[in-house]
Amino acid sequence: MSGAIEEGKGKAIEAGRSGAILVVGLGPGPDCWVTPEVSEALARATDLVGYIPYVNRCPVLEGQVRHASDNRVELDRARLAIDLCRQGRTVAVVSGGDPGVFAMAAALMEALDADPAARDLDVTVMPGVSAMQAAAARLGAPLGHDFCAISLSDNLKPWDLVARRLTAAAQGDFVIALYNPASKARPTRIFEAFDLLRSLKSAETPVAFARAVGRPDEAIVLTTLGAADPGVVDMATLVLIGSSETRLVERPGATRPWLYTPRSATSTAS
């Protein structure tokens, strides 16, 4: 596997032991957002498979093998987990956030879909805290009512489909969480997305750029759709765009107001 790094000598595998794949998420940053279920899975795994920075966040255990790989090789990682499981190993496939939200669970399912002989393997997916939830908690309650999550990456889908979904999200007046908003390979997509949303939604719509929430370099920008500078967005940024009901609550002495979407809505106007 290109870019793979393997460490550790490997735990002894019991004879005849059947393997397992544990698909886990570490949450967006601090250990206090890792569920006990996931901590237990990491402790009993013989092998860790994942993107380098996520594997690096896992506790180092004597005898556990760490298969850390570069970005954009999700299917290779899933196939490696399947191979190791067939050898009787207990493999934790590690994502940040929730493995079920724009992460490794779908890649593993794709690998199983393509490999019928692997479908009787013992696979467990474990939920976790996703980036939009961490951002929402820090901001107040912007996801307090109907919302959608869209990946801006067009590596695996045509941009037309992204644009269609942004348009539908605006027409439905959803709160919008944007994942994978920018990268070196496609730095202009976030500008295109904002141009499209500006043509469909009020310039006064609240917008938050929530970068690395829960990590030491956390940085949050609260702005509006009209005033926002998408140039500040990077791949560690979760972008939240309000519905027509999303509002600010000014706070004396705080660095910024609360941002929230009320549970009630009075208007159906688009």
Site for a copy of itself in 184-213 (CB under 8 A): none
Q: Which is nearer to a copy of itself, 66 or 174 (CB)?
A: 174
Cβ at position 116, least distance to a copy of itself in Å: 8
Window contacting a copy of itself (CB under 8 A); options: 53-61, 184-192, 232-240, 244-252 = 244-252
Distance CA 24, CA 105 (A): 8
Q: Cβ closer to a copy of itself: 235 or 249?
A: 249
173, amino acid identity: D
DSSP 3-state of 49:
strand
Let me know: does 44 contact 13? Beta carbons within 8 Å: no
Choose which of 2, 12, 14, 32 interacts with a copy of itself (CB under 8 A): 32
Q: In the window 58-77, what residues touch a copy of itself (CB under 8 A)?
A: 74
Footprint (CB under 8 A) of a copy of itself, residues 7-26: 23
> HSE of 170 in the Cβ direction (CA atoms, 13 Å)?
18
Q: Check residue 106 for interaction with a copy of itself (CB under 8 A).
A: yes
Both structure tokens of 122: 């013992």
Specify the DSSP class assigned to residue 266.
Answer: -
Q: How far is the CB of 69 from a copy of itself (least distance, A)?
A: 16
CB of 96 to a copy of itself, least distance (A): 14
SS3 state of residue 250:
coil
Rounded to 10 degrees, the C-alpha dihedral 229/235/237/243 comes to 70
Q: Any idea how long the chain is?
A: 270
- Exactly one of 128, 206, 230, 242 binds a copy of itself (CB under 8 A); that residue is 128
Q: Give dist(CA 95, CA 129) in Å, integer.
A: 11
**Residues 143-162 interacting with a copy of itself (rule: CB under 8 A):** 143-151, 156-158, 160-161
Q: How far is the CB of 150 from a copy of itself (least distance, A)?
A: 5
The separation between CA 148 and the C-alpha centre of its own chain, rounded to angstroms, equals 13
Q: How far is the CB of 79 from a copy of itself (least distance, A)?
A: 15
Stretch of 4-12, 31-39, 58-66, 86-94 contacting a copy of itself, by CB under 8 A: 31-39
| Shortest distance (Å) from residue 9 CB to a copy of itself | 30
What type of residue sits at position 258? W
The two most distant CA atoms of the chain are separated, in Å, by 65
By CB under 8 A, name the one of 11, 186, 247, 256 that touches a copy of itself: 247
Binding test (CB under 8 A) with a copy of itself, winner from 11, 57, 72, 138:
138
Options 167, 183, 223, 224; binder of a copy of itself; rule CB under 8 A: 167
Binding range to a copy of itself, per CB under 8 A, among 33-41, 43-51, 199-207, 224-232: 33-41
Q: In what order do the strands lie in the sheet with 258-260?
A: 140-141, 258-260, 247-249
Burial class (CB in 10 A: 0-12, 13-18, 19+), 253: exposed
Considering only the stretches 61-69, 85-93, 232-240, 245-253, report the one whose residues sit in contact with a copy of itself under the rule CB under 8 A: 245-253
Closest CA to 72 of 165, 185, 162: 185
